[in-house]
Amino acid sequence: KPPISIPPLLSRLATASANLPVLPSPDPLCFSSVPSSFIRFWVSRLLQLYKRKAFCLLISSFRTSVLSLCGIYHRYGDSHCSPCQRVIVHLLLFSSLLSFTNPTPSPTQYEQSQIISRFQEYLRINTSQPSPNYKKSTQFILSLAESLSLETQVIEFVQGKPLVILKWPGSDLFLPSILLNSHTDVVPSERSKWDYHPFGAHIDENGNIFARGPQDMKCVGMQYMEAVRRLKASGFQPKRSLYLSFVPDEEIGGHDGLEKLAQSDVFKNMNVDIVLDEGLASPNENYRLFYGERMPWWLVIKATGAPGHGAKLYDNSAIENLFKSIESIRRFRASQFDLVKAGLKGEGEVILVNMAFLKAGMPSPTEQSITILVTWL
């Protein structure tokens, strides 16, 4: 649907509120009985907020009714909503727009250059598998945390694989916390196939940065840090505690990093309620939010059969039986890929199947196996 424009929405609110009837006996749990004076007050207040560029509005009352009403409105439209309910929905839409508008001023040109410089410094640290320089990346992250007065903790569940946790304490320590996660390691690179050095963080005349790992996912970790920097500069104090985690070994499974953190008492004591993590890389300046965007399913298919021989043919050999599964998987994979190639779906909207590993053995009877990663939505 097209984005909602704020001024027309305000006009709709003003018009709707002016024509509201006076409703007797207000019930605080039912929107259909909210008095019109209350609605008119909030409409006028919203107009003042918008004119004065007050960017954050919180509506904390009627929380349960808000959810049920928005569901009715989304499903049935205006026909199932009273005049008061329609105005409340518009109020909620407008307050949502305001609450997601950046409350801090835009960075100056100098601040922007500093942001890019810090990002480049992170990109120039070679954390590619199989020999990531975790020591240098950890020192870099800790130096940023010190400049922002964040609490720091470095944990090595496995020696040589540090996990960095930063904390911005909230004003209410009893509330569940928010965790912003990113990984520090990146995939390998072949220098001969790059126009610029993969760890040089070169910027061309169009502002494009050439490096290994800028979207997967060093940019996200730096976005977290820069967001904290701007919020702190504006005087913002979070109500919930905010954690930033920089974990190792994601590119090789994450077993020695995030997996061990999630199983630890450290994570339990963090009392995490919401986690934001990696998603699809963006080809432009827009970022999309996903919930459970990709879920992995590792399969191992084993086939048994008679062993081969240079002077004899056998029916139902292990490799022959395995090829039947491989061909079935290949056809399904091709059908999903065709949807992407035709522009009907994006890569995050299809089931991805990749045959990753083939292993053969010589027991009797012969056994062959392949490891397959299936990712679905």
Retrieve residue 362's tokens. 């010589």
CA distances in angstroms from 244 to 21, 296, 312, listed in the order given = 50, 24, 62
Phi, psi for residue 318 in degrees, rounded to 5: -60, -45
Neighbours of 195 (CB within 10 A): 7
The set of residues, in sequence order, having a beta carbon less than 8 Å from that of 212 and lying 6+ positions away, is 123, 128, 186, 187, 189, 198, 199
d(CA 231, CA 223) in angstroms, rounded, equals 12
Active site residue 250: yes
185 is an active site residue: yes
Q: Name every residue whose Cβ is closer than 8 Å to that of residue 231 and which is 6 or more positions away in sequence.
A: 104, 238
Alpha-helix residue ranges (DSSP H) falling in the chain: 6-18, 36-51, 63-76, 83-99, 109-123, 134-147, 219-233, 258-262, 265-270, 318-341
Contact by Cβ (8 Å): 123, 215: no
Cα dihedral 23/29/30/33 (nearest 10) = 0
Given 216, 249, 250, 256, which residue is catalytic?
A: 250
Residue 269 CA to residue 177 CA, distance in Å, equals: 10
Give helix 219-233 / helix 109-123 axis angle, nearest 10°: 150
β-sheet with 163-168: strand ranges across:
151-155, 163-168, 242-247, 177-183, 272-276
Please list the active-site residues. 185, 250
